[in-house]
């Protein structure tokens, strides 16, 4: 009895899901899907473009996409063909890199903020004026207490 290996559960962003559905529904190749994306076509409108039994004069959708691509870009297919799943994996990898960079940046900002907070908590030396004496006013109540203690009652 053979057991199936579980695939790693990779999340596909929502913006790629309609393209996967269209590829399956209209039996398009990865190259044709990529061409349609580069042409700026919407997967929601493929129903209108597709050849149906009621519209036999229409060119089949895969050939229609290829003809538009060749007309606009002057070549029959993209230089580097990627599947939607590969594009989604790259998108998610770039997203994770951005998250990691942002977290590292926030950690660096927090470290500098913590060090400035520690500097602010440490007591500073009394400031002195031009005479070199501290900027503290003499306490008059201490002087009167000392005078009262020296006088007999």
Task: Report CA Rg, the chain.
Answer: 38
* 153 to 142, 144, 145, 150: CA distances (angstroms): 18, 15, 13, 9
- Choose from 5-14, 81-90, 122-131, 140-149 the range with maximum mean pLDDT: 81-90
Residue with tokens 């927090």: 110
87's tokens: 């594009």
CB 69 within 8 A of CB 38: yes
Name 81's Cβ contacts closer than 8 Å, sequence gap at least 6.
30, 31, 34
CA–CA dist 41, 37 (Å, integer): 6
Does residue 140 surpass a pLDDT of 70?
no
Closest CA to 61 of 18, 12, 111, 25: 25
The pLDDT-based confidence of 117 (bands split at 50, 70, 90) is low
């Amino acid at each position: 009895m053979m057991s199936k290996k579980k695939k790693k559960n990779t999340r596909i962003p929502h913006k790629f899901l309609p393209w996967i559905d269209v590829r399956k529904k209209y039996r398009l190749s990865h190259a044709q899907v990529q061409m349609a994306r580069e042409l700026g076509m919407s997967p929601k409108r493929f129903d209108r473009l597709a050849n149906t039994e009621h519209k036999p004069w229409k060119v089949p959708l895969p050939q229609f996409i290829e003809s538009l691509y060749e007309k606009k870009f002057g070549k029959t297919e993209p230089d580097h063909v990627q599947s939607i799943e590969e594009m989604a994996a790259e998108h998610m990898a770039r997203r994770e890199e951005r998250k990691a960079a942002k977290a590292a940046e926030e950690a660096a900002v927090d470290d500098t903020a913590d060090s400035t907070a520690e500097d602010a908590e440490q007591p500073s030396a009394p400031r002195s004026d031009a005479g070199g004496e501290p900027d503290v006013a003499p306490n008059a109540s201490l002087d009167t207490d000392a005078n009262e203690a020296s006088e007999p009652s």
